[in-house]
Structure 1
Amino acid sequence: MRTYWRQRNDLVRAAGRHIQRMQKALTQMNLQLANVLSDVSGVTGQAIIKAILAGERHAHKLAAFRDCRVKASEEEIARSLEGNWQEDLLFVLKQEQAGYEFCQKQMTECDRQIEQYLQQREDRSRGASLPEEKRKERLKKKKGNAPQFDLRAELFRISGTDLTRIDGIDVMTAMTILSEEGWDRSKWKTEHHFVSWLRLCPDNKVSGDKVIGKGRLPTNNRVTIALKMAASTLWASNTYLGAQFRRLKTKLGAAVATKAMAAKLARLVYRMLRYGMPYVDRGAEFYQAQHRQLQIKYLKWKAGNGYFAADLRRCVLCPCGESQQAERV
Structure 2
Amino acid sequence: MAKESASAKFSIVHPQAAGIDVGSRFHWVSVGQEAGESKQFGVFTKDLHALCQWLVSLGIRTVAMESTGFYWKQLFVMLQSYGMEVYLVNASFTKNIQGRKPSDLSDSQWIWKMHSVGLLPASFQPDSFTEELRTYVRHRNRLIEGAAQCVNRMQKCLTLMNLQLPIVVSDISGKSGKAIIEAILNGERDGSKLAQLADYRLKADKATLSEALTGFWRADHLFELDQHWKMYHHYQEHLAQCDQKIEEVLQSRVQVTGQAELAYDQKKSRGKNDPSFQLATYAYQLSDGVDLLQVDGVGLNLILTLLSEVGLDLTQFPSAKHFTSWLCLCPNKKVSGGKVLSSSTRKNKSRLRKAFKQTAIGVCRKKDCVLAHFYRKMAAKHGKGTAITATARKIAVIVYHMLQKKEAYQPQQLEDYQQKVRTQKIKQIQRTIRNLEVHEHELVFA
Q: Deviations over 1:251-304 (max 9, x none)?
A: 111111111111111111111111113212234332111111223344456667
- Aligned position for 2:17: none
Structure 1 residues 125 and 242: CA distance shift in structure 2, 3 A: farther
1:130 corresponds in structure 2 to: 264
Out of 300, 311, 325, the residue aligned to residue 182 of structure 1 is: 311
Distance 1:124 1:298 in 2: 54
Give me the whole-angstrom Cα distance separating, in 1, the residues matched to 2:280 and 2:220: 44
> Could you tell me the percent identity over the aligned residues?
36
Per the TM alignment, residue 32 of structure 1 is displaced from its structure 2 partner at its CA by: 0.9
1:314–1:186 Cα change, 3 Å: farther
Aligned-partner Cα distance in 2 for 1:132–1:231 = 22
Cα distance, 1:306–1:293 mapped onto 2, change above 3 Å: same
Q: Which residue of structure 2 lines up, in the alignment, with residue 285 of structure 1?
A: 415
TM-score by length of 1: 0.86
- Distance across 1 between alignment mates of 2:422 and 2:165: 50
For residues 154-233 of structure 1, what are the structure 2 equivalents within 5 Å? 154-160=282-288, 161-233=290-362
Q: Which runs of 5+ in 2 are unaligned?
A: 1-132
SS of residue in 1 equivalent to 2:335: strand
- Residue aligning to 2:143: 11
Indicate if the aligned counterparts of 1:228 and 1:262 stay in contact, CA closer than 8 A: yes
- Quote the Cα distance in structure 1 between the aligned partners of 2:276 and 2:440: 61
Q: Do the aligned residues in 1 keep the contact of 2:263 with 2:281 (CA within 8 Å)?
A: no
Question: Quick one: higher RCO (CA 8 Å, sep 6+), 1 or 2?
Answer: 1
> Offset at 1:76?
1.7
Which residue matches 1:321?
A: none
Which AA in structure 2 matches 1:130? Y
- Post-superposition shift, 1:306? 7.3
1:120 maps to 252
**Structure possessing the higher radius of gyration over alpha carbons:** 2
Distance 1:92 1:202 in 2: 48
Instruction: Answer whether contact 1:167 1:239 (CA < 8 A) is retained.
Output: yes
CA distance in 2: counterparts of 1:214 and 1:282, whole angstroms: 28
Match of 2:387 in 1: 257
Aligned to 2:217: 85
Higher helix residue share: 1
Q: Counterparts of 1:259 and 1:2 in 2: how far apart (Å)?
A: 24
**CA deviation string 1:70-127 (max 9, x = no partner):** 1112222111111111111000000000010001111111111111111111357685
Distance 1:269 1:81 in 2: 47
The change in CA–CA distance for 1:211 and 1:169 in structure 2 (over 3 A counts) is: same
Instruction: Give the Cα–Cα distance (whole angstroms) in 2 for the partners of residues 288 and 110 of structure 1.
Output: 45
In 2, Cα distance between equivalents of 1:281 and 1:2: 31
Moved more, 289-298 or 258-267: 289-298
Tell whether the 8 Å contact from 1:244 to 1:287 is kept in structure 2 after alignment.
Answer: no
Q: Which among 166, 188, 202 is matched to residue 70 of structure 1?
A: 202
TM-score (norm: length of structure 2): 0.65
Deviation at 1:196, TM superposition (A): 0.8
- Higher mean C-alpha displacement, 293-302 vs 84-93: 293-302
**What's 1:147 paired with?**
275
String of CA shifts for 1:183-225, please: whole Å, max 9, x gaps. Answer: 1111111111111111112121122454233344111000111
Q: Alpha carbon RMSD of aligned pairs, Å?
A: 2.5
SS in 2 for 1:41: coil
1:45 and 2:199 matched: no
For 1:300 and 1:128, the matched residues in 2 are separated by 53
Once residues 440 and 231 of structure 2 are traced to their aligned partners in structure 1, the CA distance between those partners, rounded to angstroms, is: 69
Secondary structure, in 3 states, of the residue corresponding to 2:253? coil
* Residue pair 1:239, 1:282 contacting (<8 A) in 2 also: no
Deviations for 1:23-47, whole angstroms, at most 9, x for unmatched residues? 1000111111122111111111111
Q: Where does residue 320 of structure 1 map in the other structure?
A: none
| Paired residues of 1:168 and 1:230 also in contact (CA < 8 A) | yes
Q: 1:48 to 1:310 in 2, by over 3 A?
A: farther
> Counterparts of 2:444 and 2:314 in 1: how far apart (Å)?
46
1:14 maps to a residue whose letter is G
SS in 1 for 2:378: helix
Taking the aligned partners of 2:293 and 2:258, their CA distance within structure 1 comes to 17
Q: 1:43 to 1:307 in 2, by over 3 A?
A: same
Residues 1:162 and 1:27: Cα distance change in structure 2 (over 3 Å): same
Summarize the Cα distance change of 1:314–1:115 in structure 2 as closer, same or farther, 3 Å threshold: farther
In structure 2, how many angstroms separate the alpha carbons of the residues matched to 1:170 and 1:109? 22
CA distance in 1, matches of 2:147, 2:244: 18
Q: Which residue of 1 aligns with 2:152?
A: 20
1:319 equivalent in structure 2:
none
The runs of 5 or more residues in structure 1 that have no matched partner are 316-323, 325-329
Q: Is the 8 A contact 1:242 1:284 kept in 2?
A: no
Instruction: Provide the rounded CA distance (Å) in 2 between the counterparts of 1:86 and 1:157.
Output: 54
Q: Which of the residues 229, 237, 259 maps onto 1:97?
A: 229
* Pair 126,22 (structure 1): closer, same or farther in 2 beyond 3 Å: closer
Map Cα deviations across residues 240-261 of structure 1 (whole Å, 9 max, x no partner).
Answer: 1111111111111111111111
Q: 1:291 to 1:53 in 2, by over 3 A?
A: same
- Contact kept, 8 Å, 1:240 with 1:286, in 2: the verdict is no
